[in-house]
Homo-oligomer: A and B are copies of this chain.
């Protein structure tokens, strides 16, 4: 089929009638399919059920160093958990603090602490007139929600296939003392699945911030979440690169096992420099006596070591790979060559990013919903929920079954077609000519 933009008004109208009939048929089925959130599916959760057996009432819940995991104490995590998570994060154990179950909570706490107490002795942000964060877009809605909650002004930075637009990042960071941070999902980014190039990471490590309390919020949520065994993205380790660049304190690195063991019952962690660590621990010691060491021990006993964890991730990949392929294949077969959308083909992570013609995303998501397919809300991938092009849609293929996903993606593609035709016809009507708008 030829690109929609090259079709005549009559061709588009005839096509629309046919697609509408298809759409109505799906609507009649009363479907309820969900591609909204990056949730693991039941089969993935089942992979970790063995974790429920590694600590029994006859087991010794004592660490190698003699710590009884059942009692109070140990602020920054038991040594064996720091080793496992350190290996996962590619950082030495003395740069790691193990937290509770949520890396989002760690990020929230990091910003909250900066608001009330500043960063390594800087003025608390709550006393400043203006605090800004750079937000590579499209990005992760829950990141943006934190900065919005604290009244931090968010500045969009466009993503490129190699990461954020680093010319812009360098300029903004160097010129504006109000810029205190940047949100990054550097590997298999949310939602595009882009991994930052070596050059991008090097430029991050070499930033020259106007603000001494500027930090990179490096949310390496998908560090070991590959889809393929050999065809994997590789990311330069940022802490080591910052140290080499003479900027050891520039970065907070976050990770968790939420999408490795059980979401909500995993381990979250931060890795950072000794100076930042000291700053954080001074606060952490006031906030808590310690996090859940029994759960730390449970994870260590279940995975054994980093090799065990990597092998476990292969099992996740076996479940997720076909789902990603269903999405990509459906997009290819249904929308390929039509000029009404582009999409990413990630090698890992939890999402695929779709870009429609300008001004179509909201309508597509609404139309899909009316046929029983729930997508992430259009705009969610932008600060304040405002996608200036109204074009980006995040596809989360992990939770539905393959069968459901096939149907959901068919419906999604159908909605893209219908909304795009409407858009093209409207544009043509306004221009008083046959449609030929720019496909992006």
- Interface of A toward B, CB cutoff 8 Å: 37, 39-40, 42, 45, 48-53, 55-57, 59, 61, 68-74, 100-102, 104-105, 108-109, 112, 115-117, 124, 126-127, 142, 145-146, 149-150, 258, 262-265, 283, 286-295
Chain B residue nearest to A50 in the complex (CB): B57
Contacting A105 at CB < 8 Å: which of B52, B116, B263, B288? B288
Apart from A74-B264, A102-B290, 15 more pairs, CB < 8 Å = A37-B72, A52-B55, A53-B56, A53-B57, A100-B101, A101-B292, A102-B288, A102-B291, A108-B286, A115-B115, A142-B286, A149-B283, A262-B294, A264-B293, A292-B292
Asked if A150 and B116 sit within 8 Å, CB to CB, the answer is: yes
Bound Cα distance A262, B289 (Å): 13
Can you report 11 A-B residue pairs in the complex whose CB atoms are below 8 A from each other?
Answer: A37-B72, A39-B71, A40-B71, A52-B56, A70-B262, A70-B264, A100-B292, A102-B290, A116-B150, A145-B286, A292-B295
Residues of B within 8 Å of A100, CB to CB, are 100-101, 291-292
Bound Cα distance A289, B116 (Å): 23
Chain B residue nearest to A287 in the complex (CB): B108
Asked if A116 and B108 sit within 8 Å, CB to CB, the answer is: no
Rounded to whole Å, the gap between the CB of A38 and the closest CB of chain B is 9
Bound Cα distance A49, B70 (Å): 9
Bound Cα distance A48, B289 (Å): 20
Asked if B263 and A108 sit within 8 Å, CB to CB, the answer is: no
Residues of B within 8 Å of A105, CB to CB, are 287-288
A68 and B53 in contact, given A126-B127, A262-B294, A286-B146 (Cβ under 8 angstroms) = no
Rounded to whole Å, the gap between the CB of A340 and the closest CB of chain B is 33
Residues of B within 8 Å of A74, CB to CB, are 264
Residues of B within 8 Å of A59, CB to CB, are 52
Contacting A262 at CB < 8 Å: which of B71, B112, B286? B71
Residues of B within 8 Å of A263, CB to CB, are 70-72, 289
Asked if A104 and B57 sit within 8 Å, CB to CB, the answer is: no
Bound Cα distance A53, B58 (Å): 9
Among the interface residues A59, A69, A72, which one has the most CB atoms of the partner chain B within 10 A? A72
Bound Cα distance A430, B40 (Å): 76
Copies in the complex: 2
Asked if B72 and A39 sit within 8 Å, CB to CB, the answer is: yes
Contacting A289 at CB < 8 Å: which of B57, B71, B104, B294? B104
A295 and B126 in contact, given A102-B289, A108-B287 (Cβ under 8 angstroms) = no
Rounded to whole Å, the gap between the CB of A420 and the closest CB of chain B is 33
Chain B residue nearest to A41 in the complex (CB): B71
Contacting A264 at CB < 8 Å: which of B142, B258, B290? B290
Residues of B within 8 Å of A258, CB to CB, are 72
Asked if A264 and B71 sit within 8 Å, CB to CB, the answer is: yes
Residues of B within 8 Å of A69, CB to CB, are 264-265
Bound Cα distance A321, B165 (Å): 66
Asked if A264 and B291 sit within 8 Å, CB to CB, the answer is: yes
Rounded to whole Å, the gap between the CB of A287 and the closest CB of chain B is 4
Rounded to whole Å, the gap between the CB of A280 and the closest CB of chain B is 13
Asked if B45 and A149 sit within 8 Å, CB to CB, the answer is: no
Bound Cα distance A265, B291 (Å): 7
Bound Cα distance A385, B148 (Å): 38
Asked if B68 and A45 sit within 8 Å, CB to CB, the answer is: yes
Chain B residue nearest to A45 in the complex (CB): B70
Residues of B within 8 Å of A287, CB to CB, are 104-105, 108-109, 146
